[in-house]
């Protein structure tokens, strides 16, 4: 937390020289609302001169490895990365459907209720704020000592940085764990805006949902077609090789079960109601 203290103390001085203010949040969440234990991720919030980017820390790890080995190894995350302009509620969402990547814009205005309750988180005095967003009720703790009106994911618009935020059913919990100032704006072009050489397809949220439903109906439809018409001789999935379309039926069912089990998104009102 020492870095956070220094950031709070010298923010007004270093804002003009540091190009990326990076905040690391521990995210505990339940991808299945019935699970007992939390999944855990480290999420990154980059605040740049012109925009804000929120994404999984594993992206940074993969980017470092790829740069060191001159490779293009791909990874993804269950958490939706988002980008937006500074002081904007207009988010660009980055999603994967099978092996395809898409992006779509959303307007995510958040109306906060500021509460009188305060407490200490480490050395910071934080104030409570509540909101209803994405089909959940959220409780946030922010500090005016770090004058940044941002927070993890799409949570922004408070008069200070959000240090903690969780939903009232205890399924998602963000906790700020450290911060970092970078002297230059960090280039995420090959891990976010372009996914390892592939540009996400710009679409709408409605069409993305349609694509997700189509994929759920037959997760390996394209690969089955290629095996049937002979354009490929085999298909490899998690180290196992398949040579006929029929062999993919079993893993298609497994994929459907995984999709159904992991359908507790952070914006609960946008959970896709898959139909077989």
**CA–CA distance, 208 with 272 (Å, rounded to integer):** 10
Q: Which helix (H) or strand (E) holds 222?
A: helix 221-229
Please give the pLDDT value at position 10: 44
Q: What is the pLDDT at residue 245?
A: 87
For residue 9, the model assigns a pLDDT of 42
Chain centre to alpha carbon of residue 23:
14
Residue 8 is predicted with a pLDDT of 47
Report, as ranges of residue numbers, the positions in the chain whose pLDDT lies below 70.
1-18, 62-77, 195-197, 276
CA distance 91 to 106: 5
Please give the structure tokens belonging to residue 178: 């450290």
Tell me, what's the pLDDT at 13? 37
For 2-193, give the CATH class.
Answer: mainly beta
According to the model, what pLDDT value does residue 4 have? 55
Q: Are 216 and 64 in contact (CB under 8 A)?
A: no
Tokens of 244: 């006929």
Q: Rg of the chain over CA atoms, in angstroms? A: 21
The per-residue pLDDT for range 139-153, each reduced to its tens digit, is 999 999 999 999 999
CATH 2.50.20 domain residues, the chain: 2-193
Backbone angles phi, psi at 253, to 5 degrees: -65, -40
Cα separation of 18 and 82, whole Å?
22
Q: How confident is the model at residue 93, as a pLDDT?
A: 97
Tens of pLDDT, residue by residue over 175-232, are 999 999 998 998 888 778 776 667 899 999 999 999 999 999 999 888 889 889 988 8
The values of phi and psi at residue 61, to 5°, are -60, -45
What pTM was estimated for this model as a whole? 0.88
- Can you give the pLDDT at residue 145? 92
pLDDT of residue 63: 56
């Amino acid at each position: 937390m020492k870095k956070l203290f220094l950031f709070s103390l010298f923010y007004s001085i270093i804002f003009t020289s540091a190009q990326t203010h990076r905040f690391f949040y521990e995210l505990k969440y339940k991808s299945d609302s019935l699970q007992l234990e939390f999944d855990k991720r480290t999420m990154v919030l980059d605040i740049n001169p012109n925009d804000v980017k929120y994404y999984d820390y594993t992206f940074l790890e993969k980017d470092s490895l790829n740069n060191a080995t001159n490779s293009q190894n791909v990874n993804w995350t269950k958490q939706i990365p988002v980008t937006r302009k500074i002081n904007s509620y207009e988010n660009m969402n980055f999603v994967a459907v099978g092996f395809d990547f898409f992006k779509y814009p959303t307007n995510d205005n958040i109306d906060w209720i500021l509460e009188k309750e305060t407490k200490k988180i480490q050395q910071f005095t934080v104030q409570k704020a509540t909101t209803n967003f994405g089909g959940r009720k959220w409780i946030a703790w922010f500090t005016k000592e770090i004058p940044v009106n941002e927070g993890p994911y799409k949570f922004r618009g408070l008069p200070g940085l959000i240090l903690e935020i969780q939903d009232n059913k205890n399924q998602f919990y963000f906790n700020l764990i450290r911060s970092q100032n970078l002297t230059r704006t960090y280039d995420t072009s090959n891990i976010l805006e372009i996914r390892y050489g592939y540009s996400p397809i710009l679409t709408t949220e409605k069409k993305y949902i349609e694509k997700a439903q189509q994929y759920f109906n037959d997760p390996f439809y394209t690969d089955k077609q290629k095996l049937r018409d002979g354009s490929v001789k085999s298909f490899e999935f998690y180290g196992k090789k398949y040579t006929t379309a029929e062999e993919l039926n079993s893993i298609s069912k497994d994929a459907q079960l995984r999709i159904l089990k992991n359908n507790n998104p952070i914006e609960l009102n946008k959970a896709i109601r898959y139909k077989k």
